[in-house]
Amino acid sequence: MDIFIQLVINGLLLGGAYTIISLGLTLIFGVVRVVNFAHGEFLMIGMYLVYLIAAQFGVHPYVGLVPVAVILFALGALTQKGIIQPLLNADQHIQIFATVGVSTILLNLALVIFGANVYRAPVALGTNAIDVGNYSMVTGQLITFVVGISLAVLLHLFMHRTYLGRALRAVAQHRYAATLMGVNVNNVYAIAFGLGTAFVGIAAGLLAPQYPVFPTVGTYFVLTAFVIVVLGGLGSLYGAVAGSMIIGIVDTLAGYYIAPDLKEVVYFGIFLLILVLRPNGLFGVGTE
């Protein structure tokens, strides 16, 4: 039983990282109605930036994530304005190809600049473990979990208590009605895309002490994030949190009780099952 509880704890902590990444992904889809296939590459860029700040200036990734989140917000907003915005009235597959193109450009830029080498942020904080009774937790994972849940709560409050948040929700529900009410939809789209990429900037700073940095580092996390947002419901912030916790627990339990190499098979099987039985996910929202 102790092993099972430890695995559940590990899964919940892992779900904290998935939460931050998935919140950004589902926010972009929920407001802009574009599936961002470059989300993983934005995470990768963020982790490289965090690494460079740590290596060059001795700034811990937990501090470096602040400027990185700001940079990624700007990069995301510019991507929306310059690439996605002109294609919003195009067929959805054209929008998907555009984000795949952005993904390919960022990946190849990373390969040209950094090569295929693996880098690690030169830090110790976040890698040690703490014991609570019979159970152990890696401090970095615990911090990531706390930040992930806190961001989910703050995003909920932002979306419901502020004018800009209500504007985001209005555009997500019906962009033409929002336009008639005086909302600048194009600016809202840019802000939503920027916030979504800023979230992976935060995730980059939290993950850098725990994971190495290399050009395809974002692929694993974002493939899992796609499973999560489908499980929770595309566009649902609550679904992103619930899906992250479910997949985190499934990941650790399947890795221990079945086989580490087969855990992806388990949650991708869940992904396909949800697509068949409940296409809108557990907390899915309708599309316009």
pTM surpassing 0.85? yes
Domain residue ranges in the chain: 13-217
DSSP string, the chain: -HHHHHHHHHHHHHHHHHHHHHHHHHHHHHHH----TTHHHHHHHHHHHHHHHHHHH---HHHHHHHHHHHHHHHHHHHIIIIIGGGTTS-HHHHHHHHHHHHHHHHHHHHHHHTT--B--S--TTSSEEEETTEEEEHHHHHHHHHHHHHHHHHHHHHHHSHHHHHHHHHHH-HHHHHHTT--HHHHHHHHHHHHHHHHHHHHHHHTTTS-B-TTHHHHHHHHHHHHHHHH-TT-HHHHHHHHHHHHHHHHHHHHHT-GGGHHHHHHHHHHHHHHH-TT-TT-----
For position 103, what pLDDT does the model report? Answer: 95
pLDDT digits (tens, 9 = 90+) for 29-87: 999 989 999 999 999 999 999 999 999 998 889 999 999 999 999 999 999 999 999 99
